[in-house]
Amino acid sequence: MLTRLKINGFKNLKDVDLRFGLFTCIAGANGVGKSNLFDAITFLSNLASMQMVAAATKVRGTNGQASDIRDLFTFDQNNTPLPMEFIVEVIAPKTVTDDFGQEAKTTATYLEYRLVLCLATDQNAKEVIYIHDEYLKKKSKREAKNELGFTASEGFITTFVIDKKHKRNTPFIETIEEAGQRIIKRYGEGEGSGQPQKIPARRTQQTVLSGINSNSHPTALAMRREMQSWQLLQLEPSALRSTDEFASDSKVTAQGHHLPSALTRIGLYADVAATLSQLIPGIQSVEVNHNEILKRRTLQVRMSGETYTASALSDGTLRFLALSIMACDPDAQGLICMEEPENGIHPMRIPQMVDLVRQLSDAPGQDDEPWSDIVELRQVIINTHSPLVVAEVPAEDLLVAESYRLGPSQGVQFKPIKGHWRDTFERNANAYFTKGQAQTYLSGQSSPSKSKSVRAWANGANQQQPLL
Protein backbone atom coordinates (compact mmCIF):
# COMPACT_ATOMS: atom_id res chain seq x y z
CA MET A 1 0.00 0.00 0.00
CA LEU A 2 1.30 3.44 -0.97
CA THR A 3 0.90 5.72 2.06
CA ARG A 4 2.94 8.77 1.06
CA LEU A 5 4.61 10.09 -2.09
CA LYS A 6 6.89 13.10 -2.39
CA ILE A 7 7.85 14.29 -5.86
CA ASN A 8 10.06 17.12 -7.02
CA GLY A 9 11.06 17.65 -10.63
CA PHE A 10 8.85 15.17 -12.54
CA LYS A 11 6.92 16.96 -15.31
CA ASN A 12 4.97 19.74 -13.55
CA LEU A 13 5.09 18.09 -10.13
CA LYS A 14 7.25 20.34 -7.95
CA ASP A 15 7.52 20.00 -4.17
CA VAL A 16 4.48 17.70 -4.11
CA ASP A 17 3.81 15.81 -0.86
CA LEU A 18 0.79 13.49 -0.93
CA ARG A 19 -0.66 11.10 1.63
CA PHE A 20 -2.95 8.27 0.60
CA GLY A 21 -5.56 6.11 2.22
CA LEU A 22 -6.96 2.86 0.89
CA PHE A 23 -9.25 4.89 -1.38
CA THR A 24 -8.37 8.35 -2.70
CA CYS A 25 -10.16 10.58 -5.19
CA ILE A 26 -8.17 13.40 -6.80
CA ALA A 27 -10.46 16.03 -8.28
CA GLY A 28 -9.38 18.81 -10.60
CA ALA A 29 -10.04 20.53 -13.90
CA ASN A 30 -8.79 19.02 -17.15
CA GLY A 31 -5.16 19.84 -17.90
CA VAL A 32 -4.22 20.70 -14.33
CA GLY A 33 -1.79 17.77 -13.92
CA LYS A 34 -3.80 14.95 -12.34
CA SER A 35 -2.57 12.49 -14.97
CA ASN A 36 1.04 13.45 -14.28
CA LEU A 37 0.67 12.03 -10.79
CA PHE A 38 -0.45 8.71 -12.27
CA ASP A 39 2.47 8.87 -14.70
CA ALA A 40 4.86 9.29 -11.76
CA ILE A 41 3.35 6.28 -9.98
CA THR A 42 3.55 4.03 -13.06
CA PHE A 43 7.08 5.31 -13.76
CA LEU A 44 8.17 4.21 -10.29
CA SER A 45 6.44 0.87 -10.81
CA ASN A 46 8.27 0.31 -14.10
CA LEU A 47 11.58 1.32 -12.52
CA ALA A 48 11.13 -1.66 -10.19
CA SER A 49 11.07 -4.02 -13.19
CA MET A 50 13.14 -2.60 -16.04
CA GLN A 51 16.05 -0.37 -16.99
CA MET A 52 15.66 3.36 -16.38
CA VAL A 53 15.56 4.41 -20.03
CA ALA A 54 12.96 1.76 -20.84
CA ALA A 55 10.81 2.91 -17.91
CA ALA A 56 11.16 6.54 -19.00
CA THR A 57 10.10 5.83 -22.58
CA LYS A 58 6.91 4.17 -21.30
CA VAL A 59 5.77 7.41 -19.69
CA ARG A 60 3.05 9.25 -21.59
CA GLY A 61 4.46 12.09 -23.63
CA THR A 62 7.78 10.49 -24.54
CA ASN A 63 6.27 8.64 -27.51
CA GLY A 64 8.52 5.69 -26.75
CA GLN A 65 11.56 7.72 -27.79
CA ALA A 66 14.69 7.95 -25.63
CA SER A 67 15.29 11.39 -27.13
CA ASP A 68 12.12 12.66 -25.42
CA ILE A 69 12.97 11.63 -21.86
CA ARG A 70 14.19 15.17 -21.15
CA ASP A 71 10.51 16.19 -21.17
CA LEU A 72 10.11 14.34 -17.88
CA PHE A 73 12.61 16.63 -16.11
CA THR A 74 12.35 20.17 -14.79
CA PHE A 75 14.91 22.75 -15.98
CA ASP A 76 16.27 25.83 -14.27
CA GLN A 77 16.61 29.31 -15.78
CA ASN A 78 19.86 28.26 -17.47
CA ASN A 79 18.14 25.29 -19.13
CA THR A 80 20.01 22.88 -16.87
CA PRO A 81 18.05 19.75 -15.89
CA LEU A 82 17.31 19.55 -12.17
CA PRO A 83 17.38 16.28 -10.23
CA MET A 84 14.17 14.26 -10.27
CA GLU A 85 13.43 13.31 -6.67
CA PHE A 86 11.03 10.74 -5.22
CA ILE A 87 10.35 9.66 -1.65
CA VAL A 88 7.99 6.70 -1.37
CA GLU A 89 6.48 5.35 1.84
CA VAL A 90 4.59 2.06 1.75
CA ILE A 91 3.18 -0.78 3.78
CA ALA A 92 4.70 -3.78 2.02
CA PRO A 93 3.60 -7.44 2.16
CA LYS A 94 4.55 -9.51 5.21
CA THR A 95 5.68 -12.44 3.08
CA VAL A 96 7.24 -12.41 -0.37
CA THR A 97 7.99 -14.97 -3.09
CA ASP A 98 11.20 -14.55 -5.06
CA ASP A 99 11.84 -15.21 -8.76
CA PHE A 100 12.72 -18.82 -7.95
CA GLY A 101 9.46 -19.58 -6.18
CA GLN A 102 10.96 -19.42 -2.68
CA GLU A 103 8.92 -17.70 0.03
CA ALA A 104 10.35 -15.63 2.87
CA LYS A 105 9.07 -13.39 5.66
CA THR A 106 10.03 -9.74 5.75
CA THR A 107 11.68 -8.13 8.76
CA ALA A 108 9.74 -4.86 8.33
CA THR A 109 6.72 -3.74 6.34
CA TYR A 110 6.54 0.04 6.87
CA LEU A 111 9.28 1.22 4.50
CA GLU A 112 10.69 4.39 2.98
CA TYR A 113 12.35 4.36 -0.44
CA ARG A 114 14.20 7.36 -1.84
CA LEU A 115 15.36 7.74 -5.42
CA VAL A 116 17.07 10.70 -7.11
CA LEU A 117 17.59 10.58 -10.87
CA CYS A 118 19.65 12.99 -12.96
CA LEU A 119 19.90 13.71 -16.66
CA ALA A 120 23.34 14.09 -18.25
CA THR A 121 25.01 14.02 -21.66
CA ASP A 122 27.51 11.23 -22.30
CA GLN A 123 30.64 11.29 -24.48
CA ASN A 124 28.48 10.61 -27.55
CA ALA A 125 26.32 13.68 -26.89
CA LYS A 126 23.46 11.37 -25.92
CA GLU A 127 21.25 12.23 -22.97
CA VAL A 128 21.22 9.50 -20.32
CA ILE A 129 19.57 8.99 -16.92
CA TYR A 130 21.72 8.08 -13.96
CA ILE A 131 21.14 7.51 -10.25
CA HIS A 132 22.41 10.11 -7.83
CA ASP A 133 20.87 8.56 -4.71
CA GLU A 134 18.99 5.38 -3.83
CA TYR A 135 18.01 4.55 -0.26
CA LEU A 136 15.69 2.04 1.44
CA LYS A 137 15.05 1.86 5.18
CA LYS A 138 12.45 0.54 7.57
CA LYS A 139 10.14 2.72 9.64
CA SER A 140 8.97 1.83 13.13
CA LYS A 141 5.54 1.13 14.57
CA ARG A 142 5.91 4.34 16.56
CA GLU A 143 6.32 6.25 13.31
CA ALA A 144 3.33 4.42 11.84
CA LYS A 145 1.14 5.56 14.73
CA ASN A 146 2.24 9.16 14.22
CA GLU A 147 2.25 9.28 10.42
CA LEU A 148 -0.53 7.04 9.12
CA GLY A 149 -3.44 9.38 9.41
CA PHE A 150 -6.23 7.58 7.52
CA THR A 151 -7.97 4.59 9.17
CA ALA A 152 -4.77 3.45 10.87
CA SER A 153 -6.37 2.05 13.99
CA GLU A 154 -4.46 -0.02 16.51
CA GLY A 155 -5.87 -3.13 14.83
CA PHE A 156 -4.63 -1.97 11.42
CA ILE A 157 -1.12 -1.26 12.68
CA THR A 158 -0.96 -4.53 14.62
CA THR A 159 -2.01 -6.46 11.53
CA PHE A 160 0.09 -4.83 8.82
CA VAL A 161 3.06 -3.04 10.40
CA ILE A 162 5.95 -5.37 11.25
CA ASP A 163 9.11 -4.01 12.85
CA LYS A 164 11.46 -6.78 13.96
CA LYS A 165 14.36 -5.59 16.07
CA HIS A 166 17.93 -6.14 14.86
CA LYS A 167 21.30 -5.65 16.47
CA ARG A 168 22.33 -3.84 13.30
CA ASN A 169 20.01 -1.04 12.23
CA THR A 170 21.50 -0.21 8.84
CA PRO A 171 19.35 0.59 5.81
CA PHE A 172 18.68 -2.09 3.22
CA ILE A 173 20.04 0.17 0.45
CA GLU A 174 22.06 3.37 0.78
CA THR A 175 24.25 5.62 -1.35
CA ILE A 176 27.60 6.95 -0.14
CA GLU A 177 30.49 8.98 -1.52
CA GLU A 178 33.61 6.84 -1.89
CA ALA A 179 36.86 7.69 -3.73
CA GLY A 180 35.19 10.55 -5.53
CA GLN A 181 32.20 8.62 -6.87
CA ARG A 182 28.69 7.75 -5.75
CA ILE A 183 28.42 4.13 -4.59
CA ILE A 184 25.13 2.31 -3.90
CA LYS A 185 25.43 -0.31 -1.17
CA ARG A 186 22.99 -3.20 -0.91
CA TYR A 187 22.90 -4.99 2.45
CA GLY A 188 21.73 -8.53 3.18
CA GLU A 189 19.41 -9.31 6.07
CA GLY A 190 19.99 -11.35 9.20
CA GLU A 191 23.12 -12.75 10.76
CA GLY A 192 25.90 -13.88 8.45
CA SER A 193 24.71 -11.79 5.54
CA GLY A 194 28.28 -10.80 4.73
CA GLN A 195 29.66 -7.61 3.26
CA PRO A 196 27.29 -5.31 1.34
CA GLN A 197 27.37 -5.35 -2.43
CA LYS A 198 28.72 -2.12 -3.94
CA ILE A 199 27.42 -0.71 -7.25
CA PRO A 200 28.75 2.48 -8.90
CA ALA A 201 25.72 4.74 -9.23
CA ARG A 202 26.75 6.31 -12.55
CA ARG A 203 27.32 2.95 -14.24
CA THR A 204 24.16 1.05 -13.41
CA GLN A 205 21.38 1.18 -16.00
CA GLN A 206 18.68 0.15 -13.53
CA THR A 207 17.84 0.79 -9.91
CA VAL A 208 19.46 -1.50 -7.38
CA LEU A 209 15.99 -2.32 -6.06
CA SER A 210 14.94 -3.68 -9.47
CA GLY A 211 17.80 -6.18 -9.40
CA ILE A 212 16.73 -7.84 -6.15
CA ASN A 213 15.15 -11.18 -7.02
CA SER A 214 16.00 -13.67 -4.25
CA ASN A 215 14.72 -14.28 -0.73
CA SER A 216 18.11 -13.43 0.76
CA HIS A 217 16.85 -9.83 0.74
CA PRO A 218 13.19 -10.38 1.69
CA THR A 219 12.34 -6.85 2.86
CA ALA A 220 13.92 -5.12 -0.15
CA LEU A 221 12.21 -7.67 -2.39
CA ALA A 222 8.89 -6.91 -0.68
CA MET A 223 9.41 -3.22 -1.51
CA ARG A 224 10.06 -4.15 -5.12
CA ARG A 225 6.97 -6.39 -5.27
CA GLU A 226 4.84 -3.62 -3.77
CA MET A 227 5.96 -1.15 -6.45
CA GLN A 228 5.51 -3.73 -9.19
CA SER A 229 1.88 -4.17 -8.12
CA TRP A 230 1.01 -0.55 -8.95
CA GLN A 231 -0.88 -0.26 -12.21
CA LEU A 232 -2.80 2.31 -14.20
CA LEU A 233 -6.03 0.67 -15.33
CA GLN A 234 -6.48 1.41 -19.03
CA LEU A 235 -9.24 -0.94 -20.15
CA GLU A 236 -9.22 -1.47 -23.91
CA PRO A 237 -12.35 -2.67 -25.74
CA SER A 238 -10.43 -5.25 -27.81
CA ALA A 239 -8.95 -6.78 -24.66
CA LEU A 240 -12.30 -6.79 -22.86
CA ARG A 241 -13.93 -8.60 -25.79
CA SER A 242 -11.24 -11.24 -26.17
CA THR A 243 -11.80 -14.92 -25.45
CA ASP A 244 -9.42 -17.03 -23.37
CA GLU A 245 -7.71 -20.33 -23.87
CA PHE A 246 -8.20 -22.84 -21.08
CA ALA A 247 -4.54 -22.35 -20.14
CA SER A 248 -4.75 -18.52 -20.04
CA ASP A 249 -3.77 -16.49 -17.01
CA SER A 250 -6.72 -15.95 -14.67
CA LYS A 251 -5.88 -12.44 -13.49
CA VAL A 252 -7.41 -9.38 -15.15
CA THR A 253 -4.68 -7.24 -16.71
CA ALA A 254 -4.50 -3.45 -16.73
CA GLN A 255 -5.87 -3.53 -20.29
CA GLY A 256 -8.72 -5.90 -19.40
CA HIS A 257 -7.52 -9.25 -20.76
CA HIS A 258 -8.63 -12.57 -19.23
CA LEU A 259 -12.11 -11.67 -17.98
CA PRO A 260 -13.49 -15.19 -18.79
CA SER A 261 -10.65 -16.97 -16.96
CA ALA A 262 -10.80 -14.61 -13.98
CA LEU A 263 -14.54 -15.14 -13.57
CA THR A 264 -14.09 -18.91 -13.91
CA ARG A 265 -11.49 -18.86 -11.13
CA ILE A 266 -13.46 -16.79 -8.64
CA GLY A 267 -16.80 -18.47 -9.51
CA LEU A 268 -18.91 -15.68 -7.98
CA TYR A 269 -21.23 -15.37 -10.96
CA ALA A 270 -24.27 -14.17 -9.01
CA ASP A 271 -22.24 -11.59 -7.07
CA VAL A 272 -20.71 -10.18 -10.26
CA ALA A 273 -24.14 -9.97 -11.91
CA ALA A 274 -25.63 -8.25 -8.85
CA THR A 275 -22.79 -5.72 -8.78
CA LEU A 276 -23.09 -5.00 -12.50
CA SER A 277 -26.89 -4.67 -12.33
CA GLN A 278 -26.53 -1.68 -10.00
CA LEU A 279 -24.94 0.21 -12.88
CA ILE A 280 -26.72 -1.31 -15.86
CA PRO A 281 -30.42 -2.09 -15.41
CA GLY A 282 -31.68 -5.28 -16.98
CA ILE A 283 -28.64 -7.45 -16.19
CA GLN A 284 -29.88 -10.92 -15.23
CA SER A 285 -26.76 -13.07 -15.16
CA VAL A 286 -23.07 -13.22 -16.09
CA GLU A 287 -21.72 -16.55 -17.29
CA VAL A 288 -18.74 -18.18 -18.99
CA ASN A 289 -19.17 -20.53 -21.95
CA HIS A 290 -16.55 -23.31 -22.02
CA ASN A 291 -15.92 -24.69 -25.52
CA GLU A 292 -14.35 -28.11 -24.96
CA ILE A 293 -13.54 -28.57 -28.64
CA LEU A 294 -11.68 -25.29 -29.14
CA LYS A 295 -10.51 -25.19 -25.52
CA ARG A 296 -11.64 -21.59 -25.21
CA ARG A 297 -13.74 -19.58 -22.77
CA THR A 298 -16.18 -16.82 -23.77
CA LEU A 299 -17.84 -14.31 -21.46
CA GLN A 300 -21.64 -14.05 -21.75
CA VAL A 301 -24.17 -11.66 -20.26
CA ARG A 302 -27.91 -12.26 -20.10
CA MET A 303 -29.77 -8.98 -20.28
CA SER A 304 -33.48 -8.31 -20.74
CA GLY A 305 -34.10 -11.92 -21.71
CA GLU A 306 -31.33 -12.10 -24.34
CA THR A 307 -27.86 -13.61 -24.09
CA TYR A 308 -24.92 -11.59 -25.48
CA THR A 309 -21.29 -12.56 -25.82
CA ALA A 310 -18.62 -10.03 -24.85
CA SER A 311 -18.04 -9.19 -28.51
CA ALA A 312 -21.61 -7.86 -28.77
CA LEU A 313 -21.55 -5.69 -25.64
CA SER A 314 -20.95 -1.95 -25.62
CA ASP A 315 -17.65 -0.51 -24.46
CA GLY A 316 -19.31 0.95 -21.35
CA THR A 317 -20.94 -2.34 -20.36
CA LEU A 318 -17.65 -4.19 -20.79
CA ARG A 319 -15.76 -1.64 -18.74
CA PHE A 320 -18.06 -1.96 -15.75
CA LEU A 321 -18.24 -5.72 -16.15
CA ALA A 322 -14.46 -5.80 -15.76
CA LEU A 323 -14.65 -3.60 -12.64
CA SER A 324 -17.38 -5.83 -11.20
CA ILE A 325 -15.24 -8.94 -11.70
CA MET A 326 -12.22 -7.25 -10.12
CA ALA A 327 -14.29 -6.01 -7.17
CA CYS A 328 -15.49 -9.56 -6.47
CA ASP A 329 -12.04 -11.13 -6.85
CA PRO A 330 -10.70 -12.13 -3.40
CA ASP A 331 -7.18 -12.51 -4.84
CA ALA A 332 -6.98 -9.00 -6.30
CA GLN A 333 -4.28 -6.93 -4.60
CA GLY A 334 -1.99 -3.95 -5.02
CA LEU A 335 -2.66 -0.39 -6.13
CA ILE A 336 -4.98 0.48 -9.02
CA CYS A 337 -5.05 3.98 -10.52
CA MET A 338 -8.11 4.90 -12.59
CA GLU A 339 -8.74 7.99 -14.68
CA GLU A 340 -12.24 9.45 -14.81
CA PRO A 341 -14.24 6.29 -14.02
CA GLU A 342 -17.44 8.27 -14.59
CA ASN A 343 -16.90 8.19 -18.37
CA GLY A 344 -19.65 6.23 -20.13
CA ILE A 345 -22.00 6.12 -17.15
CA HIS A 346 -25.35 7.90 -16.84
CA PRO A 347 -25.23 10.74 -14.26
CA MET A 348 -27.99 9.05 -12.24
CA ARG A 349 -25.70 6.02 -11.80
CA ILE A 350 -22.75 8.01 -10.39
CA PRO A 351 -23.42 6.95 -6.76
CA GLN A 352 -23.36 3.26 -7.75
CA MET A 353 -20.20 3.82 -9.79
CA VAL A 354 -18.39 5.46 -6.86
CA ASP A 355 -19.47 2.60 -4.62
CA LEU A 356 -18.13 0.09 -7.17
CA VAL A 357 -14.67 1.65 -7.43
CA ARG A 358 -14.49 1.83 -3.62
CA GLN A 359 -15.24 -1.90 -3.56
CA LEU A 360 -12.06 -2.44 -5.58
CA SER A 361 -10.15 -1.31 -2.48
CA ASP A 362 -10.10 -2.41 1.15
CA ALA A 363 -11.41 0.96 2.30
CA PRO A 364 -13.58 0.45 5.39
CA GLY A 365 -17.33 0.18 4.82
CA GLN A 366 -20.37 -0.41 6.94
CA ASP A 367 -19.97 -4.18 6.66
CA ASP A 368 -16.19 -4.16 6.73
CA GLU A 369 -14.45 -7.33 7.88
CA PRO A 370 -11.76 -7.24 10.59
CA TRP A 371 -8.28 -6.27 9.38
CA SER A 372 -7.00 -9.67 10.48
CA ASP A 373 -9.07 -11.30 7.71
CA ILE A 374 -7.15 -9.40 5.00
CA VAL A 375 -3.88 -10.90 3.76
CA GLU A 376 -2.71 -8.13 1.39
CA LEU A 377 -4.19 -4.66 1.07
CA ARG A 378 -6.06 -3.44 -2.00
CA GLN A 379 -5.83 0.27 -2.77
CA VAL A 380 -7.48 2.52 -5.36
CA ILE A 381 -6.70 6.06 -6.51
CA ILE A 382 -9.04 7.71 -9.02
CA ASN A 383 -9.05 11.13 -10.61
CA THR A 384 -12.05 13.07 -11.85
CA HIS A 385 -13.23 16.46 -13.05
CA SER A 386 -16.88 15.70 -12.24
CA PRO A 387 -18.61 17.57 -9.39
CA LEU A 388 -21.13 14.69 -9.33
CA VAL A 389 -18.38 12.25 -8.41
CA VAL A 390 -17.00 14.60 -5.76
CA ALA A 391 -20.46 14.85 -4.20
CA GLU A 392 -20.43 11.07 -3.61
CA VAL A 393 -16.88 10.74 -2.27
CA PRO A 394 -16.38 11.02 1.51
CA ALA A 395 -14.51 14.22 2.34
CA GLU A 396 -11.69 12.33 4.05
CA ASP A 397 -10.97 10.49 0.77
CA LEU A 398 -10.75 13.64 -1.35
CA LEU A 399 -7.86 15.75 -2.66
CA VAL A 400 -8.32 18.74 -4.96
CA ALA A 401 -5.73 19.51 -7.66
CA GLU A 402 -5.27 23.01 -9.00
CA SER A 403 -2.57 24.71 -11.00
CA TYR A 404 -0.42 27.70 -10.13
CA ARG A 405 2.27 29.69 -11.89
CA LEU A 406 5.83 28.92 -10.84
CA GLY A 407 8.07 31.35 -12.73
CA PRO A 408 7.60 30.72 -16.46
CA SER A 409 6.03 27.29 -15.92
CA GLN A 410 2.96 25.78 -14.34
CA GLY A 411 2.86 23.60 -11.26
CA VAL A 412 0.09 21.71 -9.50
CA GLN A 413 -0.89 21.66 -5.86
CA PHE A 414 -3.00 18.95 -4.20
CA LYS A 415 -5.19 20.26 -1.39
CA PRO A 416 -7.01 18.24 1.27
CA ILE A 417 -10.49 18.96 2.57
CA LYS A 418 -10.42 21.12 5.66
CA GLY A 419 -11.09 19.32 8.93
CA HIS A 420 -10.07 15.82 7.86
CA TRP A 421 -6.97 13.71 8.45
CA ARG A 422 -4.81 15.03 5.57
CA ASP A 423 -5.32 18.58 6.80
CA THR A 424 -3.39 17.62 9.95
CA PHE A 425 -0.21 17.10 7.89
CA GLU A 426 -0.58 20.10 5.57
CA ARG A 427 2.37 22.51 5.91
CA ASN A 428 0.46 25.55 4.64
CA ALA A 429 -2.55 26.48 6.73
CA ASN A 430 -4.24 28.02 3.65
CA ALA A 431 -3.74 25.00 1.41
CA TYR A 432 -7.12 23.36 1.72
CA PHE A 433 -10.61 23.27 0.25
CA THR A 434 -14.03 22.67 1.68
CA LYS A 435 -16.06 20.05 -0.14
CA GLY A 436 -18.51 22.70 -1.28
CA GLN A 437 -15.69 24.82 -2.71
CA ALA A 438 -14.38 21.77 -4.57
CA GLN A 439 -17.75 21.14 -6.20
CA THR A 440 -18.12 24.82 -7.10
CA TYR A 441 -14.61 24.87 -8.59
CA LEU A 442 -15.26 21.80 -10.75
CA SER A 443 -18.57 23.16 -11.97
CA GLY A 444 -16.73 26.20 -13.36
CA GLN A 445 -18.29 28.72 -11.00
CA SER A 446 -15.02 29.89 -9.44
CA SER A 447 -11.46 30.68 -10.44
CA PRO A 448 -9.30 29.14 -7.69
CA SER A 449 -6.03 30.01 -9.44
CA LYS A 450 -6.69 33.66 -8.52
CA SER A 451 -7.47 32.94 -4.89
CA LYS A 452 -5.39 34.37 -2.06
CA SER A 453 -4.45 30.94 -0.73
CA VAL A 454 -3.05 29.80 -4.08
CA ARG A 455 -1.05 32.99 -4.58
CA ALA A 456 0.43 32.65 -1.09
CA TRP A 457 1.33 29.02 -1.66
CA ALA A 458 2.86 29.71 -5.08
CA ASN A 459 4.98 32.53 -3.71
CA GLY A 460 6.38 30.12 -1.14
CA ALA A 461 6.91 27.45 -3.78
CA ASN A 462 9.06 29.84 -5.79
CA GLN A 463 11.59 29.53 -3.01
CA GLN A 464 11.25 25.77 -2.69
CA GLN A 465 14.14 23.57 -1.60
CA PRO A 466 14.86 20.07 -2.90
CA LEU A 467 13.07 17.30 -1.04
CA LEU A 468 16.38 15.71 -0.11
User: Is the confidence at residue 467, as pLDDT, over 60?
Assistant: no
Give yes or no for residue 462 having a pLDDT over 60. Answer: no
The radius of gyration of the chain's CA atoms, rounded to the nearest angstrom, is 23
Among the ranges given (42-51, 218-227, 404-413, 424-433), the one the predictor scored with the smallest mean pLDDT: 424-433
Report CA torsion sign: 168, 169, 174, 176.
negative
Q: What is the pLDDT averaged over residues 418-439?
A: 78
Task: Please give the pLDDT value at position 152.
Answer: 67
Position 458 scores a pLDDT of 38
**Is the predicted pLDDT of residue 454 greater than 50, yes or no?**
no
pLDDT category at 451 given cuts 50, 70, 90 is very low
Question: How many Å apart are CA 274 and CA 29, to the nearest integer?
Answer: 33
- Flag whether pLDDT at 217 surpasses 60: yes
Question: According to the model, what pLDDT value does residue 30 have?
Answer: 87
pLDDT tens figures, 99-133: 889 999 999 999 999 999 999 876 666 778 999 99
User: Can you tell me the mean pLDDT for 304-317?
Assistant: 92
Angle at which helices 315-327 and 259-266 cross, to 10°: 30
Query: With 90 as the cut, is the pLDDT of residue 450 above it?
Result: no
Whole-prediction pTM? 0.90
pLDDT at 141 over 80: yes
pLDDT digits (tens, 9 = 90+) for 245-287: 999 999 999 999 999 999 999 999 999 999 999 888 899 999 9
Mean of pLDDT over the chain: 86
**400 falls in which pLDDT band (50, 70, 90)?**
very high
